[in-house]
Amino acid sequence: MVHQIRVIVESLDDAGGVIGKEIITTKNVVKPNHIIELGFRHSEQIDLLSQIEQQLLDKQSVYLKEELYKCPKCGRKLYKSGCVKSAFHSVFTDHKVSTSRQVCKLCKWTSTPSVRSLFGNASHPNLVKIQAELGANHTFRESQKLMNLFSNNSRSTNSHDTINRITEAVGQDLSDNPEVPSKSIPSASHIYVQVDEGHVACTDRDKRSFEVMVSIVFDAKNNQHTTEKKKDDGEVKGVRRRLKSKHCAASALLDTRDTMKQQTLHAAIKQGITPQTKITAICDGAKNCWDIVDSLEKHCDSIERVLDWHHIAMKFKNTRLGHEEMNKQLSGAKWYLWHGLPGKAIERLQLMRDSFQDNPKKKEKVQRQLTYIENNANFIANDQKQQDNGLIFTSQMAECTVKNLINKRGKGQQHMHWSRNGLHALLQVRSAVNSNDWSAICQLHIDVLYKKTA
């Protein structure tokens, strides 16, 4: 019966002969009386990984030196002068790595390299990738806690300031160097474009908030049916769908929406837009959102503009009048809109408005709703028919709306305050992650951290 196990790292020569052996750990094999005694514990796993990686780093350290053969100051020969230790941060562990120091015996010039000076950064790119992704999806302090939880240690390289800096640097490079869409993307006959906006708290004390815009583009064929909601009697109440493929765009920049237009076009190209493609655009009715949609007009065959039912329903909910009979009238106007009859809805709202001559506050609430419907009457579809035909009529099913891309970072009682550039950079990473592009393109943009510090 086995009583112990031992983990050993062996060093081999080119012929496969063993030239070195290091015992990493020896562990007794005992009967587990509790599941926690099965295998290695978290701390033991991290310790094993740390020791094994240190063995590899020690062997690699002989190659870590500056490629200098003559003194850059006087031109004389350089001589080896011992080693220095420098920090290296792997995904879960921190290490000290030896690098070779060189010195000029004549002028005493010294080369003292480090992992950072040799490679541009002391953190492994895999660590940077995880930090950037967590920083884009969680608050920076939450990301710090998660990274340290995984590592079973409080590490300075996982500080919230470091994660903030990394996320912004990677996001800024995503913005400055957008991926050029491939020319081999299959063409799409019909795509959906959903554009929305939101406001976030601003770091500028003179301003309370600023606008952020997001869009999501997907081929109609990628809107897959998954499950059906059924009532107790078996009747289908609704259908759940998911997007098999989508591309997102987001911008917090104050640049007359030029960046947002360009990024939305790139998202549409990645989804297969051609001059023969038909677009269904779903927006909340804001002029700036329609402006993004209009910018695609010259790149497609036609655009059908649809007022987002989710926003219509929310506006009616916010217009509740505190009077049962009037709320029924309001629901009637909403019913007309659901069935694609904006004219009748407008007539109903006009009558309601006129009945509140002695109540200015309620009159103003109805007038705001009336103005919203009048301004977007041409974009109101028969959503009942759209639903019956399995077509999309609301942005609520999209996984990358403002709520997902922006508001997730503002949950809780204390919302974060942002600068435009800082939030814009973060949104580029979030957009890439939500577009399922992140794994394919992250390494290209992570390299910016190594170039800038080299």
pLDDT value of residue 194: 93
For residue 203, what pLDDT band results from cuts at 50, 70 and 90? confident
Classify residue 426: in a domain, yes or no: no
Pair (236, 377) in one structural domain: yes
Contact 219, 272 (CB under 8 A): yes
Classify residue 326: in a domain, yes or no: yes
Each residue's pLDDT tens digit, 135-154: 998 989 999 999 999 999 99
Pair (264, 342) in one structural domain: yes
Pair (85, 204) in one structural domain: no
Minimum mean pLDDT range among 24-38, 111-125, 333-347, 403-417: 403-417
Given a cut of 60, whether residue 344 has pLDDT beyond it is: yes
Given a cut of 70, whether residue 413 has pLDDT beyond it is: no
Mean pLDDT of 390-402: 66
Given a cut of 80, whether residue 303 has pLDDT beyond it is: yes
- Indicate the residue type of 355: S
Q: What count of residues does the chain have?
A: 454
Q: Cβ atoms within 10 A of the Cβ of 394, count?
A: 19
Given a cut of 60, whether residue 231 has pLDDT beyond it is: no
- Domain count along the chain: 3
Given a cut of 70, whether residue 239 has pLDDT beyond it is: no
Structural domain ending residue among the three candidates 99, 119, 139: 119
Contact 224, 243 (CB under 8 A): yes
DSSP element (H, E) containing 211: strand 209-219
Classify residue 82: in a domain, yes or no: yes
Classify residue 351: in a domain, yes or no: yes
Q: Cβ atoms within 10 A of the Cβ of 383, count?
A: 21
Structure tokens at 375: 């301004």
Q: In 182-308, where does DSSP find H-type helix?
A: 258-270, 287-294
Pair (244, 149) in one structural domain: no
Given a cut of 50, whether residue 311 has pLDDT beyond it is: yes
20 burial (CB, 10 Å; 0-12 / 13-18 / 19+) is exposed
Classify residue 151: in a domain, yes or no: yes
Given a cut of 70, whether residue 208 has pLDDT beyond it is: yes
Percent of the chain beyond pLDDT 70?
90
Given a cut of 80, whether residue 233 has pLDDT beyond it is: no
Give whole-number Cα distances, 73 to 69, 80, 101, 103, 384, in Å. Answer: 12, 17, 16, 11, 80
Given a cut of 70, whether residue 367 has pLDDT beyond it is: yes
Pair (326, 391) in one structural domain: yes
Pair (86, 204) in one structural domain: no
Pair (246, 146) in one structural domain: no
Q: State the Cα–Cα distance between residues 211 and 424, nearest whole angstrom.
A: 11
Pair (266, 131) in one structural domain: no
- Indicate the residue type of 54: Q
Pair (324, 294) in one structural domain: yes
pLDDT value of residue 17: 93
Classify residue 162: in a domain, yes or no: yes
Pair (444, 410) in one structural domain: no
Mean pLDDT of 416-424: 88
Mean pLDDT of the chain: 88
* 445 contacts: CB under 8 Å, gap ≥ 6: 170, 173, 174, 177
414-449 burial, b if ≥16 CB within 10 A, otherwise e? Answer: eeebbebebbbbbbbbbbbbbbebbeeebeebbbbb
Contact 409, 152 (CB under 8 A): no
Classify residue 70: in a domain, yes or no: yes
Structure tokens at 420: 């435009």
Domain of 312, in residue numbers: 190-418
pLDDT value of residue 412: 43
Comparison of pLDDT for 386 and 335, the residue scoring more = 335
Pair (108, 129) in one structural domain: no
Mean pLDDT of 193-215: 87
Task: Indicate the DSSP class of residue 187.
Answer: P
Give whole-number Cα distances, 218 to 192, 249, 382, in Å. Answer: 5, 12, 22
Pair (15, 82) in one structural domain: yes
Minimum mean pLDDT range among 124-128, 204-208, 229-233, 364-368: 229-233
Contact 342, 373 (CB under 8 A): yes
Minimum mean pLDDT range among 173-177, 348-352, 422-426, 432-436: 432-436
pLDDT value of residue 378: 93
Classify residue 235: in a domain, yes or no: yes
Mean pLDDT of 4-18: 94
User: What global pTM score does this model have?
Assistant: 0.83
